[in-house]
Amino acid sequence: MGLSPATTTSQVSYDPPSQDGWVTTRLEFLVNWGRANSLWPMPFGTACCAIEFMATAASRFDLARFGMERMSYSPRQADVLICAGRVPYKLAPVIRRIYEQMPQPKWVISMGACASTGGMFDNYAVVQGIDTIIPVDVYVPGCPPRPEALIHGILMLQDKVKQQRSLSNDAQYAELVIDPTSRHYIPASRIDELSEPFGNSVHQTRSAP
């Protein structure tokens, strides 16, 4: 019948002699393979790291080789938030909201020393690492990182995506709901009001299921 014996590895198996064109794999592997190779980045460039990010996306280093074919300038269509550059406190609620507007599953790359730790800007105006605002998956060190370093970070993120148990563990994709008693809590109605200008033709809002 052309089906090869059940495999326990994450390999696509193919049985050439039968020539029936059957391919078997695990659904989880296939989903992760698809996700890992079509990560659309949401660039959040605030400083010199963004210049390196642009170089990474341009033809010499060509981010499109890794499936990042399209820069998604809307968080609605983005998978991975790449924060390139220092984030001042004034931008803290902005990056928080952009992260919240991204649909699950979503990942974050913190590019460079400033985004990861505040870098040399240990002063009153700069957030000391974006992981105090949003969860970060991959930190790329450097000041700024070379394009190779960012690509290495992206490959690490792809490895992480490929190893996720996407179908058996829904909890990891559950939206992080902030405790309503926290001072960081923003009610859904307020978020809808604020995100109104960013809705599309079907009135997509942050709090809609």
Partner 1 sequence: MSVVLPGAALPKNTPDPVTPRTVPHRGGDVNPSVEALRAQFGATIGRHDVTWGETTVWIDATKVREIALWLRDDPTQQYDYLVDVTAVEHRDAAMPLEMVWHVRSLPYRRFLRIKAALDPNAELEVPSIEPVYKSANWLEREVYDMFGVRFGGHSDLRRILLWESYAEGFPLRKDFPLRGRFSRSEQLTQALAANPEAPYSMEELSVADAFHELPADMRERLLRVKAGG
| Interacting residues toward partner 1 by CB under 8 A | 89-90, 92-94, 96-97, 122-125, 127-128, 132-133, 183-184, 193-194
**Least spacing, CB of residue 154 vs partner 1, in Å:** 28
**Least spacing, CB of residue 196 vs partner 1, in Å:** 8
**Least spacing, CB of residue 201 vs partner 1, in Å:** 18
| Burial (0-12, 13-18, 19+ Cβ within 10 Å), 42 | buried
Report phi then psi at 89, rounded to 5: -60, -30
| 105's tokens | 């599953």
String of DSSP letters for 74-88:
SGGG-SEEEEES--B
Q: Which is nearer to partner 1, 5 or 124 (CB)?
A: 124
How far from chain centre, in Å, is Cα 190?
Answer: 25
Per DSSP, which regions of 16-162 are E strands?
A: 23-24, 41-45, 80-84, 107-111, 138-140
Q: Which is nearer to partner 1, 133 or 161 (CB)?
A: 133
**Least spacing, CB of residue 183 vs partner 1, in Å:** 6
- Which residue type, as a one-letter code, is found at position 177? V
